[in-house]
Amino acid sequence: MRKAFWSAVLAGVLLVGCDKQHDPDPYTPPALPTGGIRLKVTPLWEGALFDKYTTYNNVMDYRVQVQLIKLYLSDLHLLSDLGEHHLSDAELFKLTDGSSYVDLPAPAGNYTGLHFGIGVPEDLNHQDPTQYDANDPLSVSNGMHWTWADGYRFVVFDGRFDTLGTGVGPLPELFSIHTGMDTCYRELTFNALPITIATGGYTQVDIKFDLAKFFYSATDTIDLEIDNQAHGANITLAGRLSDCMAASVSVQ
């Protein structure tokens, strides 16, 4: 009896030992932290930080106060000698209160530039906005979709102005220029822009819009006394603003 008992105990020990040998390792090594870019978008006025409470004089010496500025940047790609890395389909930035940023993951490495569009590209512009959840930049909850036009507002640029540059007190006139429609989409590529991303780190890339230049370019000047409203119907003015905006951008 005693011999049989110890034989059973030994068999149990061996069985437990075998089971432990075949147990999967419960330890899972942590994934390497991702890196990427922090895309910071900043509004300026003639090179200085924009302040929504400040009344500025624009290129025509009109007193101007910008009260709302929102815009989409889309089809964001990092460029490299080996090709492109897609960062995001679309991101929405509200710049009324100053800079806004988003963190976009990307593989570690050396990159040579950045590509993006101002607005929403045609393949996304006519999608159903209700398919996106509330936190998505293209969600209908952001109030940037023109349901009647089957497309998005690309840029919202609203404020007040006074044609008397030496005037004082409240600004009497309103301007509200909203770009949209596929013809207002503008693509920009910035080459020779070295960007190095390390594993686990986010490298900041600064995109700056000079709002003073929204009113003029090398070939055009927007006169707010005449050109102050665009909500889909005034495609000519929306296109002119789109061109001025594209010329106002700097990246570093």
Total-model pTM: 0.86
92: helix, strand or coil: strand
Q: What is the pLDDT of residue 232?
A: 84
- Residue 44's closest CA among 252, 244, 249, 203? 249
Q: What is the pLDDT of residue 33?
A: 57
Q: For the CA atoms of the chain, what is the radius of gyration?
A: 28
> Angle at the Cα of 154 (from 150 to 160), degrees rounded to 5?
120
Segment-wise mean pLDDT, segments of 10 residues, the chain, 252 residues:
44 42 48 81 98 97 98 97 94 98 95 97 94 96 88 97 92 97 96 92 97 97 98 93 98 95
Q: What is the pLDDT of residue 240?
A: 98
